[in-house]
Amino acid sequence: MALTVINAKTLSKMFLAGAKNLESKKEWINELNVFPVPDGDTGTNMTLTIMSAAKEVAALGDNPDMGALCKAISSGSLRGARGNSGVILSQLLRGFTKSIKEKEEIGIADLAEALEKAVETAYKAVMKPKEGTILTVARGGYEKAKELFESGEENLEKFMFEILEHSKYVLSQTPELLPVLKQAGVVDSGGQGLVEVMSGALDAFMGKEVDYSITEAPKAENKAKENVQEEVDIKYGYCTEFIIMLERNFNIKQEMDFKEFLESIGDSIVCVADDDVVKVHVHTNDPGLAIQRALKYGALSNMKIDNMRLEHKEKLFKEQEKKEAAREAMTDTVAEEAQAIPEERKEAGFVAVSIGDGMNEIFKGLGVDYIIEGGQTMNPSTEDMLNAIDKVNADVVYILPNNKNVILAANQAATLVEDKKIIVIPTKTVPQGITAIINYVEGMSPEENAENMTTEIGNVKTGEVTYAVRDTQIDDKVINQGDYMGIGDAGILSVGTDMFDVTMGMIDIMVDDDVELISVYYGSDVTEEEAEKVRAEIESRYSSCDVELQYGGQPIYYYVISAE
């Protein structure tokens, strides 16, 4: 017999099924990102966001009441939200659950009202909503629900099915609303993620046995251009094992968070915690990320890393492993120093999102109180922001997101803090973050400083050099997998097969007569000699500009360059 209403038990199953369906598709959704960069992570961000809530829902058991279920979904997704797509998803869930939290069961009228509240809440959370995104797909679903309700539809299964089908249609039209999607030949990745959640939820409502295994599209390897020399079948190339000798309590939440992080960077995961040790095994393309996160919990032993992809390059790998170990040791030292909490409460403190030992050292030297590891390669969650704010003993805390995909999470965290004044400076790049903190003036009011810092970051142009993970065409440029790309504030500036030429081509477009200072931050995969060559060429071409060269140590991005 078909269900005519949804109670808390059924809704719990629908939510968990939607979350698991999204999780199973996360890598495919990552591939839908317009820019073919190695850190396209919409699927990962949305998955980590919804799984944060799924953990809380699962903990309620098989028979939750509606109020507790709605609180678990709303609170879990809100605090676990990562990236713009994750924050918007959390706001959709927040609005939806707010509408139904006091009901014992919900029908068609309740669903239509809840979808309206979800869309309203999500749109309010975004300062400048853009159509052709997850917001458009969500609104399309609500509009279909309203149409069906007003037409007198009484079949709940048909009601939800038609909403899903219309949402899929709206998703298919997103390239018509955003030309950049059409040029890249993809639909909006956030909208696709929302459709997967809805699809999984409907399957659960219909009582289907869901097989979450999928056949993924071929995926480009996330590795440096100089290492791309042959086609391989292994998705994650490094078998990484170690034991964490716990230095503090390792609770269930930390264990789940660590497992989720490992899932975001690899597969074949084993993470078993005992009284004072944790056994870890993961296949990943970047062992350093796993090691760096593990060091937060204690010292490491029994470390073993095997290259499963290119055995004949074992010598090169070992050299890189030593290099990474040295960087990790430096990063750990920087982190410990940067996270020191002052005993006396200050007037103002700073939180910055940063990755790379050199970048961390720069922010530490400028007076940042707490550094959140992340940015391009791993968007921090709202919970990460709240933890950082809690560690800064100051009346006013300025947050420097340093990435456009982190700003929403920072803003969301700011609304949840009551004992401190939180000011988010909308820095979209690390150079903007550096400029912002340099322009902080003691004695000025928080509002005056916020205005001054925000104004100054508008004078900073940023360019980043990375590599393409797939073939595409964007900004009228044909890009092949493995090409180097110079990406500016508004799009791709240069493309080619030579890193030096691409870097200089990008700089030539960035620099105009108003530029006085060019700062170059070179990453972990660039030698000092290569970086010095770039500096010399910049000084030769732009003799009227001051040129600064610093080691950033950032992964994936060979150079981060600012012109101001």
Delimit the domains of the chain by residue range. 6-205, 229-337, 342-457, 461-563
Tell me the HSE value of 58 on the side-chain side, using a 13 A CA sphere: 11
Contact 125, 408 (CB under 8 A): yes
CATH class for the region spanning 461-563: alpha beta
Residue corresponding to tokens 């000025």 = 444
Other C-beta atoms closer than 10 Å to the C-beta of 231 total: 7
The residue type at 81: A
**Coil, helix or strand for 196?**
helix
Q: What's the Rg (C-alpha) of the chain? A: 24
Distance CA 52, CA 60 (A): 14
Distance CA 33, CA 555 (A): 19
- Written as six digits, the tokens of 108 are 């068609």
**Coil, helix or strand for 492?**
strand
Distance CA 59, CA 75 (A): 13
Outline where 369-445 has alpha helix (H).
Answer: 382-391, 407-414, 430-438
Query: Is 461-563 in the same CATH topology as 229-337?
Result: no
Question: Phi/psi class of residue 206: alpha, beta or left (left: φ > 0; alpha: ψ in -120 to 50)?
Answer: alpha
CATH number of 229-337: 3.30.70
User: Model's pTM, two decimal places?
Assistant: 0.70
Tell me the CATH architecture of domain 6-205: Alpha Horseshoe (1.25)
Distance CA 385, CA 413 (A): 6
pLDDT attached to residue 139: 96
Whole-number Cα distances in Å, 24 to 45, 48, 260, 373 = 13, 12, 13, 26
Per-residue 3-state assignment (H helix, E strand, C coil) for 231-268: CCCCCCCEEEEEEEEECCCCCHHHHHHHHHHHHHHEEE
Residue corresponding to tokens 């009202």 = 113
Outline where 31-172 has alpha helix (H).
Answer: 42-58, 66-80, 83-100, 108-125, 134-150, 156-172
Contact 351, 385 (CB under 8 A): yes
CATH class for the region spanning 342-457: alpha beta
**Coil, helix or strand for 491?**
strand
pLDDT attached to residue 159: 95
pLDDT in tens, the chain (564 residues): 567 899 999 999 999 999 999 998 888 888 887 777 766 588 888 998 999 899 999 888 888 999 999 999 999 998 888 888 899 999 999 999 999 999 999 999 999 999 999 999 999 888 778 899 999 999 999 999 999 999 999 999 999 999 999 999 999 999 999 887 887 788 999 999 999 999 999 999 988 875 533 333 333 333 333 333 333 345 777 888 888 888 777 776 777 788 888 888 887 776 766 667 777 878 888 888 888 888 888 888 878 887 765 543 443 444 445 434 444 444 444 444 445 555 678 999 999 999 889 999 999 999 999 999 876 667 888 989 999 999 999 999 999 999 998 999 999 999 998 889 999 999 999 999 999 999 999 989 999 999 999 999 999 999 999 998 878 888 778 888 889 999 999 889 999 999 999 999 999 999 999 999 999 999 999 999 999 999 999 999 999 999 999 999 988 899 999 999
- Written as six digits, the tokens of 560 are 């981060």
Beta strands per DSSP E along 287-413: 298-307, 346-354, 370-373, 394-400
82: DSSP letter: B
Distance CA 515, CA 525 (A): 28
pLDDT attached to residue 563: 94
pLDDT attached to residue 334: 41
Contact 176, 188 (CB under 8 A): no
Distance CA 27, CA 42 (A): 9
Residues of the chain by 3-state class (helix, strand, coil), percent to 5: 50, 20, 30
Beta-carbon contacts of 310 under 8 Å, excluding residues fewer than 6 positions away, are: 227, 232, 237, 317
